A and B are shown apart, each in its own frame.
Chain A
Amino acid sequence: MTLVQVIVSGLLLGAVYALFSSGLTLIWGMMNVVNFAHGDFVMLGMYTAVVIWTALGGGPFAAVPAAAIVIATLGVLSYFLLVRHIMRGPMLAQILGTFGLALFLRYAAFWTFGADFKTLPDTLIGGSFTLGGIRFEGSRVLAGVGGLLITLLLHLILTRTSVGSRMLAVSEDATAAQLMGIRPQRMQALAWAMAGAATGIAGALIATFFYTSPTVGETLAILAFVTVSFGGFGSVLGALVAGLIIGVVESLSAYLIGPVYKDVVVYVLFVLVLWFRPQGLMGKA
């Protein structure tokens, strides 16, 4: 029974990984840009949630949309002020620019909120319940289910709607798309908005069970990089599958080998995937 418990909590965690990685993969796939500030976007989503929830007393139903809006705005601003200009330059300019943005955001948060950890109050979703012999923590269930639904939604928007196919057209050939009457910049800005919204929501969901601090983004960013490379760049579905796999592998190895080794197992797995399938599990060759 405990093994099932471990797998279920791994899946719930993995769904959140999937959600906060899906923004990164969307941008990577759509314009071949790796956003080194992605983890700090998540971090700001967490802070937005904390501020709205506690300081302003908004509770979760205000906190989640607020985080989505704030980070979507941040994404669009980053696109117009920075990314648009560096995406055609050398790859190093991308790393330089987005890492500079990461530092900027991280220390702006540090300056504003201080270094100490913030956590959300336990009251609303802090409890746990048992179902079929498995114990569920309310906050984790909320985060996991929310992560799963929103990642799926993002996937459906990208694959099933006309906006999605226009975005795909831009990512495949911006010039050709332009000839078909699509405005590439608008689509790319939209991608940053969607990625930002997903990232913001992920931040708000993570804040329900994880400590919030200015440097939390660094850890999360590495996880997102691994998830995205694992799933194949540009593939939200790939990120979902990879996120779930990583979540389960983490909790299984923490349970079977020991908590310190969970990252080791994930990184080894990642290196193996890169070796045998450099384009990721679901990526295009």
Chain B
Amino acid sequence: MKRYLFPGVVLVLAYPLLAAGYPVWERLGALVLLAAIGASAWNIVGGYAGQVSVGHAVFFGFGAYSAVVVYTHLGWPPIAGAPIGMLLSVAVAAVIGVPTLRLSGHYFSMATIAVAELVRVLSSTSEFLGGAQGLTGPAMPRTVFDLSFLSATPFYYIFLAVLAFLLGLTWWIERGRMGFYLRAIKDSERAARSLGVSAGRYKLYAYMLSGAFTSLAGSLYLCMFGFVDPESGFGILISVKMVVMAALGGAGQLFGPLVGALILVPLEELSNSYLGGRGAGLTFVVYGAIIVIIARFLPSGLLSLFERRSAKPAAKSEIASGHAD
């Protein structure tokens, strides 16, 4: 992996120069990074800790709505809603997490779906949030803080900075005690607890942190698109896409969600802009088929291809005889 790092970094930094003059491609770069932020945030609790939330749209929506609400109701620039959204999301994560994180496996997933749907339906009945029509950000940029740009390139660099920070933070967590503990909880919560791991607390920390950054992704989304409604904020597709991107690249791996975003976002965007209409239907058929094929043949994600090659061969020895089950 290491030898790809330097050329990778150069390419990422220089991408807007290569895409300059092609708005579709400029936008695409920013969208990949935005999706990667969301999926990487999900990865903290869903990938590392193995608590598969399919309701992260709750946090995404809170972020998006916080940004637009501070504009609509207070006249602030939307980005000022980002920290508010993050704080709110941490609180919301605690409220949702304490009861649901006791559930295991599919039950946790189903509970998170239900909570997200509950919030989606509630948001569509709330006048404060613009009801089913949603809310729109500033039509005209008033100051530079409104982050209204003609090209997507400034967004590209903003998203890149956020993603770099998030991945740096994840990397730091991964190497420390919390990272070890989250993986232990994922493998066997019972064994982890027998070794003094406060599983409930660590899962909750991971969930809150994950929620905060998912919310930030939502706020950034609003800054770029200037609009959110219940479906684009709290819809189940938002949640599922985070899961699918992370799982496709490799859940519980630092760069897994980014790899997933690099594949899925271009597939989706380019088909939308070049085909449109029914043609897009056909591309999504291909998109679905690709996901199925990867799940079938690489169940641990694309990055497991590299891992398999570099992993040390399973050591067989005198005590590594029979097989346990």
- A residues near B, CB below 8 A? 28, 32, 34, 36, 81-82, 85-86, 89-97, 99-108, 110-111, 114, 218, 222, 225-226, 228-229, 233, 260-261, 263-264, 267-268, 270-271, 274-275, 278
Contacts and interface: CB of A to CB of B under 8 A. Distances in A.
Nearest to B102: A278
B114 A270 contact: yes
B93 to A, nearest CB: 15
Contacts of B121: 260, 263-264, 267
Interface of B: 46, 52, 54, 99-100, 102-103, 105-107, 109-111, 113-115, 117-118, 121-122, 124-125, 236-237, 240, 243-244, 246-248, 251, 278, 280-285, 287-296, 299-300
A267 B121 CA distance: 10
What are the 3 A-B residue pairs with the smallest beta carbon separation, nearest first? A100-B291, A104-B288, A97-B295
Nearest to B241: A99
Nearest to B124: A260
* Interface of B: prevailing SS: helix
A100 to B, nearest CB: 3
A226 B114 contact: yes
B282 to A, nearest CB: 5
Contact of B288 (A105, A114, A225, A261): A105
Given A96-B291, A104-B288, A229-B107, A264 B122 contact: yes
B99 A100 contact: no
A270 B55 CA distance: 15
Contacts of A91: 52, 105-106, 109
A96 B237 CA distance: 13
Given A91-B52, A92-B247, A100-B289, A85 B296 contact: yes
Contacts of B106: 28, 32, 34, 91, 233
A96 B244 contact: yes
Given A92-B243, A93-B299, A101 B292 contact: yes
Contacts of B285: 103-104, 107-108, 111
B278 A111 contact: yes
B197 to A, nearest CB: 21
Contact of A97 (B105, B110, B291): B291
A268 B288 CA distance: 32
Given A97-B295, A260-B125, A278 B247 contact: no
Contacts of A93: 247, 295, 299-300
Contacts of A99: 240, 243-244, 291
27 contacts: A82-B295, A85-B296, A86-B295, A90-B299, A91-B109, A93-B299, A96-B248, A96-B294, A96-B299, A97-B296, A100-B288, A104-B288, A105-B288, A107-B281, A107-B284, A107-B285, A111-B285, A225-B113, A225-B114, A229-B111, A261-B125, A263-B118, A263-B121, A264-B121, A267-B114, A267-B117, A278-B102
A8 to B, nearest CB: 25
A271 B251 CA distance: 27
A278 B105 CA distance: 11
A114 B295 contact: no
A222 B236 contact: yes
A104 B113 CA distance: 21
A69 to B, nearest CB: 23
A258 to B, nearest CB: 9
A81 B293 CA distance: 10
A268 B247 contact: no
B291 to A, nearest CB: 3
Contacts of B288: 100-107
Contacts of A274: 99-100, 103, 107, 110-111, 114
Nearest to A229: B110
B247 to A, nearest CB: 4
Contacts of A278: 102-103, 107
Contacts of A34: 106, 109-110
Contacts of A94: 295
A264 to B, nearest CB: 5
Contacts of B248: 96
Given A92-B46, A108-B285, 16 more contacts: A82-B296, A85-B296, A86-B296, A89-B299, A92-B246, A92-B299, A94-B295, A96-B299, A99-B244, A100-B288, A103-B291, A107-B282, A114-B278, A274-B114, A278-B102, A278-B107
A147 to B, nearest CB: 22
Nearest to A214: B281
A130 B17 CA distance: 72
A264 B115 CA distance: 10
Contacts of B107: 229, 274, 278
